[in-house]
Amino acid sequence: MNAPLAPFHAPAGPDRPARVRLLGGEVDLVTSDDVLAFTAARIAAGLGGLVVNHNLHSLHLIQRDAEMAALYPLADLIEADSTPLIAWGRLLGKAIRPEHRATYLDWREDFWALAGDRGWRVFYLGGAPGVAARGAEAVRRRWPKALIGTRDGYFDMNDAAEVDGVLNEIKAWAPNVLLVGMGMPRQEQWILRHRDRLPPCVIFPVGAAFDYEAGATWTPPRWTGRLGVEWLFRLASEPRRLFSRYLIEPWSLIGAALKDLAAR
């Protein structure tokens, strides 16, 4: 039997990644390869796990949503899903580097190849009716061995019967990996409320991941993320939805930025 694995953020073990504090939140110095290695180790040991991510939007939201803020201390890994956040960390002299950017669109190619080869069962919860199923079909066309169950995210989170139905669908699929794509902060709220009722699996909040896979939302080229201009491409494609997120919300982090400078 495999020995239980300590969460990556536990203060023990030589393999614990460094965790740094930036703009009022914390991120781990992990690469996409580290995230996939963690996932594989957890699945091999029959254990669950929680991998969340921080960007400027999430750092804004944890100041305003208590449930979302409460989830991050429970995470095994916190990915840095923001080139501007990494740039800020480097400006402060932190050990964070561009290769520490990790998010679904960065590691999906390797993830689905690995999931198919190892027979991982993946469940995606989220998206409008029909979108998740189309996203799963698109993934299976590229990775025919991928085992994917889906359920749309259009249900009442305060209706106990509906929530029970969603949880029963997930349990019936018995996933090794659960991707929750209902947008921030709804996906984080749902995970926080129901993580103890889920089967042992590695959980990722992934936003509109299968909207991208289904082609329902345009995906910027990955080089835009590496150069730190992905947000400009997204803003140009969805200006009404993203104007506040990209041009207004970051100003709420001024206080946290000043604290970072003072701590430096």
Q: Can you give the pLDDT at residue 224?
A: 65
How many Cα atoms sit within 13 Å of 224 on the Cβ side?
12
Q: Is 7 among the domain residues?
A: no
Q: Can you give the pLDDT at residue 218?
A: 59
Q: Is 251 among the domain residues?
A: yes
Structurally, the chain folds into a number of domains equal to 1
Q: Is 9 among the domain residues?
A: no
Residue 229: φ, ψ to 5°? -120, 15
Q: Is 243 among the domain residues?
A: yes
What does the alpha-carbon distance between residue 113 and residue 180 come to, in Å, rounded to a whole number? 20
Q: Can you give the pLDDT at residue 216?
A: 72
Q: Can you give the pLDDT at residue 11?
A: 43
Q: Can you give the pLDDT at residue 4?
A: 39
Taking only the tens of pLDDT, the chain with its 264 residues reads 333 344 544 443 456 789 999 999 999 999 999 999 999 999 999 999 999 999 999 999 999 999 999 999 999 999 999 999 999 999 999 999 999 999 999 999 999 999 999 999 999 999 999 999 999 999 999 999 999 999 999 999 999 999 999 999 999 999 999 999 999 999 999 999 999 999 999 999 999 999 999 987 756 666 666 666 776 767 677 788 777 877 888 899 999 999 999 998
Side chain identity at residue 29, one-letter code? L
pTM of the predicted model, to two decimals?
0.90
Q: Is 2 among the domain residues?
A: no
Q: Is 80 among the domain residues?
A: yes
E strand residue ranges, the chain: 19-22, 25-28, 49-54, 77-80, 121-126, 147-151, 177-181, 202-205
In order of 145, 164, 176, 185, the CA distances from 160 in angstroms are 35, 6, 25, 19
State which H helix or E strand residue 240 sits in. Answer: helix 239-247
In order of 22, 59, 73, 194, 235, the CA distances from 255 in angstroms are 12, 12, 21, 33, 25
Q: Is 201 among the domain residues?
A: yes
Full domain range(s) for residue 91: 19-263
Residue 176, classed as helix, strand or coil, is coil
- Whether residue 212 contacts residue 237, with contact meaning beta carbons closer than 8 Å, is answered with no
Quote the distance between the C-alpha of residue 15 and its chain's center: 21
Q: Where are the alpha helices (DSSP H) in 11-61?
A: 32-44, 56-61
